[in-house]
Amino acid sequence: MYDPTVARLTYRALLGRRRALILGALPLLLIVLSVAVRGLTGADDQTAADVLGGFAIATMVPIIGVIAGTGAIGPEIDDGSVVYLLSKPLKRPTIIFTKLIVAIAVTMVFSAVPTLIAGLILNGNGQQIAVAYTVAALVSSIAYSALFLLLGTVSRHAVVFGLVYALVWEALFGSLVPGARTLSVQQWSLAVAHKIAGGDLVTSEVGLTTATVLLVAVTVLATWYAGQKLRTLKLAGEE
């Protein structure tokens, strides 16, 4: 199910050249931000939860997920070079699975690690906040990668649709319509974080069981469907 050559190519496509810069810029900003906040306010659990929840989980993880998830397959389909990959004797689900693993790894490294560092800077893991949000980042990395990898195989405008989901659906609708929060990767991962932190600092709209079931279901379904989609992929010209 895992092909090292495909993985190596995907890593190069994701981290080569300037892509790594933008992937690295966001975590750097988070760490700079948390140093600044620590300087302004000192160690404070509520502030730490606000920064990690509002910036790291709500903005940074989805955007890195979009870049890594769609970037793992989107550009190849876009410029047509995916035919060279598809013409090799590899199962299409294997290709998707390998790319998913790579996307998850990249998203985790660039989102969960900085979240942990930022959490340690902000309040030295008081009340398990840093660990809780790190776990949330890890969990949501998996779901986001699968979701956006699927988007990358379905649409040419995957990045835009991914961002619309991450920013408009989760951030805007989530704050206006309570029902939208039930269908949000962010809330599912926060449910897991809530279980770890225990207190009232990390809250979620959904229960742990629902969240876990939905997380697993979305990841598996998205990966399966992306594999199916790649089997019947049509290469179209530009627009």
Partner 1 sequence: MAVEQPLTSPAGDQTRIHDIGYRGYDGPRLGRAYARRSLYSQSLRGAYGLGRSAKSKVLPMLLFAVMCVPAAIMVAVAVATKAHELPVAYTRYAIMMQAVISLYVAAQAPQSVSRDLRFKTVPLYFSRPIETADYVRAKFASLASAIFILTAAPLLVMYVGALLSKLGFAHQTKQFAEGLVSVALLSLLFAGIGLVIAAVTPRRGFGIAAVIAVMIISYGAVSTLQAIADVQNHSGVIPWIGLFSPVTLIDGVQSAFLGATARNPGAVDPSTAQGVVYVLVVLALIAGSYGLLVRRYKKVGL
Q: Do 98 and 88 touch, CB atoms closer than 8 A?
A: no
CA distance 99 to 64: 15
Interaction between residue 74 and partner 1 (CB under 8 A) = yes
Interaction between residue 172 and partner 1 (CB under 8 A) = yes
- Contact pick of 7, 11, 31, 78 for partner 1 (by CB under 8 A): 78
Q: Do 57 and 137 touch, CB atoms closer than 8 A?
A: yes
Binding footprint of partner 1, residue count (CB under 8 A): 39
C-beta closer to partner 1: residue 89 or 234: 234
CA distance 14 to 211: 29
Interaction between residue 67 and partner 1 (CB under 8 A) = yes
Interaction between residue 86 and partner 1 (CB under 8 A) = no
CA distance 148 to 163: 10
User: What is the footprint of partner 1 within residues 110-169 (CB under 8 A)?
Assistant: 157-160, 163-164, 167-168
CA distance 230 to 97: 11
Give Cα 229 to chain centroid, integer Å: 21
- Applying CB under 8 A, the span of 62-70, 101-109, 177-185, 207-215 interacting with partner 1 comes to 62-70
Burial class of 212 by CB neighbour count within 10 A (0 to 12, 13 to 18, 19+) = middle
Interaction between residue 177 and partner 1 (CB under 8 A) = no
Interface positions with partner 1 (CB under 8 A): 18-19, 22, 25-26, 29, 33, 36-37, 40-41, 47, 50-51, 54-55, 58-60, 63, 66-67, 70-71, 74-75, 78, 157-160, 163-164, 167-168, 171-172, 238-239
